[in-house]
Structure 1
Amino acid sequence: MKILVINYRFFISGGPERYMFNLIELLESKGHEVIPFSVKHEKNKSSCYSDFFLSSVGTGKEIYASEYRRGVIKYFFKIISRYFYSFEAKKKLNALINKKHPDIIYILNYKALISPSIIDVAKKFNIPVVHRLSDFGKICANNVLYDYNKNEICEKCITGTKLNGIVNKCVNQSFANSMMRVFANYAEKLINVNKKVDAFVITSQFSLRKFKEGSMPIDKMHHIPTFFPENKLIISNEVSNKHALYFGRVDYDKGVHVAIEAFKNINSDLYIIGKASDNSYLNYLKELICSNNLENIHLLGEKTFDELCKYLSTCMFVVVPSLWYDNLPNSVLEAYAYHKPVIASATGSLKMMVENKKTGLLFRRNDPADLRSKVLELLVDEIATKELGNNAYKKLLNEYGSDQHYNKLINLFESLLKN
């Protein structure tokens, strides 16, 4: 089968891209031909199809929206086209399809950097389109169902009008950015994007429920959890010292400050790995650490996956203190692959991924004191902690294996091709 995979990044910047490269490797190992379509960027991995990639929106160095804002005037018209309808994307994808004649198109992320015009190209060639939803961008202006102004979960765009995203300045706390994101969602509705997509892949039952509440077409929804490749599994659980690890986005909705607060007066180190999309939040964390003389907290910044694995292999457990409805984060699966239990917020899909007192511990969301008690619980009982880690590894094998994911995804593809 020839499978055209579309994503707005062709380098690892987070969980969705790690999934993409793992999936490409898995599909190719099963004999399928994978054709990538993306946007040019200086960090992109090498591809023989890069000539078909779209030009970058900015300089080709930006990753997060805050970085694009610096050149918003210079790149204004290109930004507008990528939000609403890009003829460049349409032309480039048309050329790629004419050359490779794919059987099916699997879309990961396209918003703001590619545009929904690609779906019209697929329909022109009568190619089935499957769209994997890894965030809540279809039903929420800022993608995460979280109000950064009030720092709380927000479902106003589900229970009320999408215009709440503009009124509350939900995107980067900017009226203009929020208006563009909301109007782009309305434009997608106007050109029937959801009707043109043949199937949606949803990674968790929790997210499936939220999309249903947000009036997404439930008959097109297919629950297919992500996976962790078996060739990257770790056989044993070796802990060299009693430290904890957080890795992922370093942003407010990820609750990194909650973890820092929890580690006050704890005789154990917390290592924090990841890139901040907002420097003001990063500065806030540095000030929090400095003002409280927290020498046991280490902000390490961005690391390669190989570098991250060194910390994963030696930590005692992983902390996932998310404030938003975290949507099946890869960090939990990667922790499980290293036989590490996870202490996670009892919110969103995390309540399903982390089985309390079996594969880790759950704590009350946004409650540093409760998190601290759970950290101490694992630190004082190494034998029980190791047992939780072994259970976590078994859960990964049973529920998030490559074969389970591959069979469900290919069955979906084949059913669409038959129809």
Structure 2
Amino acid sequence: MKILMVNSFFYMRGGGERYTFDLTALLESHGHQVIPFSMKHAQNFPSEYDDYFVSAIDFPTEMAKRDPRSMARVVERIMYSREARDKMERILADTQPDLVHVNGFIHEFSTSILPPMKDAGLPVTQTLHDYKIVCPNTTFVSNDEVCERCLGHRYYNVVLQRCKRGSLAASLLAGVEMYFHEFLNTYEPNIDVFQSPSEFLRSKVIEHGVRKPVVVIPHFFDPNNFQPYYEPENYIVYVGRLVKVKGIMTLLRAMEKTPQTHLYVAGSGELEPEMRQFIADRGLSNVTLLGHLKTDELQSLVQRALANILPSEWYENYSATLRESLACGTPVIGSNIGGIPEQVTDGWNGYLFEPGNAEELAEKIQRLVADPALAVEMGRRGRRQVEIVNSPETHYRQVNEVYENLLRGEPVSQPAPAVVPAL
């Protein structure tokens, strides 16, 4: 099978790129030919197809110039990019793929790349990595709070709330972009089936009014890159950005009530000064801020922890940090929000708690502090879960089923989920 793989970036920039490169390698290992379509960039990996790549653009840099030419370039690229459309037409004509798999693309290419795919008679599927299809700000977050005001095509709210970095201009552009693409009607009609890593994201897409099929296919990774330890020490960890919506202040308040264990915080962010002040004011000697750690240092820290805490107060989609913790044999105590409950089963491979509830979080932490053997048991279950649900083999089976149905012109239904046997 010859697959055109579309993603805005062709270097390791974030989770979407990691997935795109991993999926490419997985498909190639099964004998498929994968052709990339992306944007030019100095950090790109080499590709024999880079002549087809769209010219680079950095939106914050262009908008900061505040001159008419730069603004026109930004608007043209976001609303309807003739260059991206022409490059797509060329690569389709020259390579003759069997189908197209789209990942992140909309800002850098616009929806102009989609009609040429259907004009060529190709089936098209898209993996959704965030909430962009329904939220102009992509995250369901506005001013550090969960926000669903734009759900149901009410995109004017992104302007009223100034959701994009607090900028009126950026927010106006984001709202107009959503309305313009709906006016053109070039997005959903040109996608045959959407793939979502979580049921939560799927539910929001359907609630918004998307009528095309949306199937749930959890992201994958190689659990063998993470080695379980199963001899936890008396500490817990937090791994992630230090920002309000990650719930880190809730975790600090929980640590006031949990003096019998230690918290190590790996990460950095804008909330760090406030956290340090809180720690000093409360005399929290059981909290240590470590900053960024190297990959091997981070894995060693997580392996030996009683639990990894995921206290998010926004709609986490399908957390990589969570599944990597389970691969290390470390249970997760996570907020009951977004896609987290799909990865954590309360009392089985970790615990769930009400977002923002420091008392409940402290109580769940104390359970594992009092019973390290339970943490080991939960860790073994979590490890088994990711070995099955998130394995490359499971992911290939599910994605290939979508491909095969599309190529046969058959309706695409939900691929059979992986079944985790009881331990």
SS for the counterpart of 2:346 is: coil
Map residues 14-413 of structure 1 onto 2, 5 A cutoff.
Answer: 14-58=14-58, 70-71=64-65, 73=67, 75-148=70-143, 151-158=144-151, 161-192=154-185, 193-217=187-211, 219-234=212-227, 236-239=228-231, 241-264=233-256, 266=259, 268-274=261-267, 276=269, 280-289=270-279, 292=282, 294=284, 296-301=287-292, 305-306=295-296, 308-413=298-403
Number of residues of Structure 1 aligned to a counterpart in Structure 2 = 405
Q: Contact (CA 8 Å) 2:317, 2:338: kept in 1 or not?
A: yes
Q: Contact (CA 8 Å) 1:228, 1:401: kept in 2 or not?
A: yes
CA gap of 1:102–1:241, structure 2 versus 1, over 3 A, is: same
Q: Contact (CA 8 Å) 1:8, 1:38: kept in 2 or not?
A: yes
SS for the counterpart of 2:373 is: helix
Residues 299-357 of structure 1, C-alpha deviations (whole Å, 9 max, x = no match) = 423x5645543433333321111111211111111111111101100112212211011
Residue 421 of structure 2 corresponds to which residue in structure 1? Answer: none
Q: Contact (CA 8 Å) 1:82, 1:111: kept in 2 or not?
A: no
CA gap of 1:71–1:44, structure 2 versus 1, over 3 A, is: farther
SS for the counterpart of 2:125 is: strand
More deviation, 65-74/362-371: 65-74
Q: Contact (CA 8 Å) 1:230, 1:402: kept in 2 or not?
A: no
CA gap of 1:113–1:268, structure 2 versus 1, over 3 A, is: farther
Letter in 1 for 2:55: S
Q: Contact (CA 8 Å) 1:2, 1:103: kept in 2 or not?
A: yes
Q: Contact (CA 8 Å) 2:232, 2:372: kept in 1 or not?
A: no
Q: 2: CA distance between counterparts of 1:68 and 1:294?
A: 44
Residue 417 of structure 2 corresponds to which residue in structure 1? Answer: none
TM-score scaled by length of structure 1? 0.87
Q: Contact (CA 8 Å) 1:4, 1:106: kept in 2 or not?
A: yes
Q: 2: CA distance between counterparts of 1:81 and 1:292?
A: 52
Over 6 Å off, 4+ runs: 65-68
Q: Contact (CA 8 Å) 1:260, 1:297: kept in 2 or not?
A: no
Greater Cα radius of gyration, structure 1 or 2 = 2
- What percent of counterpart residues are identical? 28
The unaligned stretches of length 5 or more in structure 1 are 59-64
CA gap of 1:326–1:197, structure 2 versus 1, over 3 A, is: same
